[in-house]
A and B are shown apart, each in its own frame.
With several copies, the nearest count.
Chain A
Amino acid sequence: MEQDPMREVKRLEVVIDALHVEAVLRTLHDAGVDGYTVVREASGWGDRGARRPDGISGVFENCLILCAVDPEVMEQVTTGLRPVLQRHGGVALLSDAQWITH
């Protein structure tokens, strides 16, 4: 391998109303992350009560966003994310991970 086999990254995980995913992704993008993954049709429960997509109104659907963030841009990500979470609710978790580079 010409590179280091592992790279330290921050693993960011956001759960938010499906409608606001675009706002989160825009934030991530602007902060300079180089990728993300979105899983749709999650349900959940939190401050806003139970959120279970009912299929009719489309209202109570959550999404899970996963993003491996370079520690260097972590600061911008957090700064950008806070107002979005503040306005729209949702949860953001941060942990340490290693990216198996190749």
Chain B
Amino acid sequence: MLWRMDPSLLLENLRTPAILFFVLGGVAAILRSDLNLPQPIPKLLSIYLLMAIGLHGGVELVRSDLDGRVFAVLGAAVAFSAAVPVWTFFLLRFKLGTADAAAMAATYGSISAVTFITANNFLDNLHHPDPGYTAGGYMVAAMALMESPAIVVGVLLARLFAAPPTSEAEPYAGLGGRAPGRRARGGAARLDGGELFREAFLNGAVVVLIGSLLIGCVIGERGWTSVKPFMYDPFKGVLCLFLLDMGLVAARRLSDLRSCGAWLIGFAVVSAPVHAALGIAVARGLGLEPGDALMLAVLAGSASYIAVPAAMRLAVPEANPSIYVTMSLGVTFPVNITVGIPVYLAVIQWWWS
């Protein structure tokens, strides 16, 4: 099957402008070029991308006729986001402390909007004659729903399995290494429910995505036409610019890999196809079209690097961001967008045919 996979999809993906700019960013960083896009440019670009994908998703959602299958997809998405952290946590606990394992679990249960967008871009550029090869607007809703449950589950796991507060907390897996007396200590229990809720559901990225989705549902065709020249037409070009920066950031994160260990890197590489395969199986079970199946695979296989880190820093400050951000941004993201997406689609094509 896969070993007989047509390599043209892979090549097609690697020739997409956005992917090439990602590679350019990675190469520039590895060659130690001084190229960078300082804050708040990446913030502007990512808010733009979230607005645009949300708005378009909302407009598409209203256009399509919803049936029961849509709700099944949304339910599956939420279930995924809540369940993935559980097994991830228990698996990672073999090698990491409670806090780091919980943060990694939340990271891998949640999703990466840019991976989703890149997959969408890939589908679009295929210009496939079969309309089943486009993603439905409700997949954006599915994405929006998958951001937060993993955060809640991750924090709950961190609390349930936290070391009793009197004992010295787990040794910090940090990169510095000063006197242990200066270490942060088990404090997950101190964050109240309201703050946790706010972090999980009111993170800026989540708000823009869900808000734009809702706005897209109500503005109607005339409203959409009026903002399309900004919200739709330049979208693929802006994605190039954003992925250039992602390439720079991802490659610069790599220097932290050494301190993370081969075991963890292995997890970050393997979890993507494993979870994606699970997503594909669920999509098959629900009878989704290939386009939607790819999106579900990508959501399942991707890991968060915006909403989850923000929440984890507040809710589980003992966890080391150099671990979970490096894994999701430096390993899983590149694997997914360069190789993952076309391979997942090849599997779907093979299975669906």
* Direct A–B contact in complex, judged by CB atoms less than 8 Å apart: yes
Is A88 part of the binding interface, using a Cβ–Cβ cutoff of 8 Å? yes
Interface string of A30-62 (1 = CB under 8 A from B): 000011000001000111111001111111110
Interface size class of B (residues with CB under 8 A): 35 or more
A59 pairs with B39, CB closer than 8 A: no
A contact face: mostly helix, strand, loop, or mixed: loop
Interface string of B314-328 (1 = CB under 8 A from A): 100100111001000
Contacts of B177 in A (CB 8 A): 47
B37 pairs with A55, CB closer than 8 A: yes
Contacts of A60 in B (CB 8 A): 321
B41 pairs with A88, CB closer than 8 A: no
Is A95 part of the binding interface, using a Cβ–Cβ cutoff of 8 Å? no
- 20 more CB-based (< 8 A) A-B contacts, given A48-B176, A57-B325: A17-B313, A19-B310, A19-B313, A19-B314, A47-B176, A48-B172, A48-B174, A48-B322, A49-B320, A53-B39, A54-B42, A55-B40, A56-B249, A58-B309, A59-B310, A59-B325, A86-B184, A87-B187, A87-B190, A89-B182
Which 4 residue pairs are nearest across A and B when measured between Cβ atoms? A49-B175, A55-B42, A47-B176, A55-B39
Q: Can you identify 20 A-B contacts, CB atoms within 8 angstroms?
A: A19-B314, A48-B176, A49-B174, A49-B176, A54-B42, A54-B252, A54-B253, A54-B329, A55-B245, A55-B249, A57-B249, A57-B310, A58-B43, A58-B309, A86-B184, A87-B187, A88-B317, A89-B182, A89-B317, A102-B182
Interface residues in chain B, defined as those with a beta carbon under 8 Å from any beta carbon in chain A: 37-43, 46, 172, 174-179, 181-185, 187, 190, 245-246, 249, 252-253, 256, 259, 305-306, 309-310, 313-314, 317, 320-322, 325, 329
